[in-house]
Amino acid sequence: MTGSDGTGGTPSAGGTAGGSDIRPVATVDPHLEPSVRHQHRMEMIVAGSFAAAFVGTVGLAVVYWYGGQDQWEGAFLGLVMAGLGVGLTAWGKYLLPQGPFVQERETLSSPSAERVAYSASFERGVGEMRRRSFLGKLLGAVLGAFGVVALFPFIRSLGPQPKLALFTTSWRKGSRVVQADGTPVHYNDLEVGGYMTVFPSHDANSAISQTLLVRPSSSPFTTKPGRETWTPKGYVAYSKVCTHAGCPVSLYEEQTQQLLCPCHQSLFNILDGAMPVFGPAPRPLAQLPLYIDKKGYLRAQAGYDEPIGPGFWERGA
């Protein structure tokens, strides 16, 4: 039988049982033909390439056999690689079918009997679920309650609420100024240019109440308007908790009258209310108002007048 495109053909194997739907099938598909017109010449080129690669392989073996020589080994190896590369590329590109290849697919729809059976079974299932709706509601309640309970560990892991802890320290009106070992600080304890870390007597070694006590002068001075009485006999006290990231501000430079935070090198001017003059700290250190009691010991007039340390969202300005 001859196909409609003029090529040779055979009867199709997919005809109907009665043989009335037999269609011609082409036996020569142009898509399966090599793309080059002079196939014999291309075969010779491929064969020549493989032969060159073979010669290179033999040459490589001989050079190795006689002790090896870098340049000849490179040349023969190059010949092998070039021969294989040219031969394989030409074979694949010119002597193998180039397509395009299209595979027809049958329709995948189910027979109508199956579709009827499926929809009947689906409706029966929906009817069953409706009849047992209380089970669905119960399941929803369980899952909802479980979802809420699953939040508990997350909420608990946030820890206790800070409440007012971020706004206050242990310093109170009349708090006695003491060293880490509890020794009260007398106004004669520091020479001009000296400094030490101090705490309130009822909470020695408290991290949030740690305070840097500095004596830059022998007489009172004013760090900010309204603070005229805060520096008796030249003592000034600032919170040690840095306003950048909370590191302890622990170094005093007498020459420049600055405090240095070693974490990111913020500098604070102690004669100007600990205003930051360098570094990432955004605010001054909180100042503690001091006074000297009748026996000559340093005490706090009150707590810090603002929250110490880094900013937090409820802090305000």
Q: Which residues bind ligand FES (CB under 6 A)?
A: 242, 244-245, 247, 261, 263-264, 266, 279-281
CB of 261 to ligand FES, least distance (A): 3
Beta carbon nearer to ligand FES, 80 or 212: 212
Beta carbon nearer to ligand FES, 186 or 264: 264
CB of 315 to ligand FES, least distance (A): 16
CB of 204 to ligand FES, least distance (A): 24
Long-range Cβ contacts of 27-36 (<8 Å, 24+ apart):
27/3, 31/97, 31/98, 31/99, 31/100, 31/101, 32/97, 33/97, 34/94, 34/95, 34/96, 34/97, 34/98, 35/93, 35/94, 35/98, 36/94, 36/95
Beta carbon nearer to ligand FES, 22 or 166: 166
CB of 304 to ligand FES, least distance (A): 17
Half-sphere exposure of 239 (CA within 13 A, CB side): 28
CB-based contact 313:188 (threshold 8 Å):
no
As a whole number of angstroms, the distance between CA 236 and CA 221 comes to: 9
As a whole number of angstroms, the distance between CA 209 and CA 179 comes to: 12
Taking alpha carbons only, the member of 277, 283, 278 closest to residue 264 is: 278
The first and second tokens of residue 116, run together, are: 């009827």
CB of 202 to ligand FES, least distance (A): 27
Beta carbon nearer to ligand FES, 75 or 208: 208
Beta carbon nearer to ligand FES, 245 or 302: 245
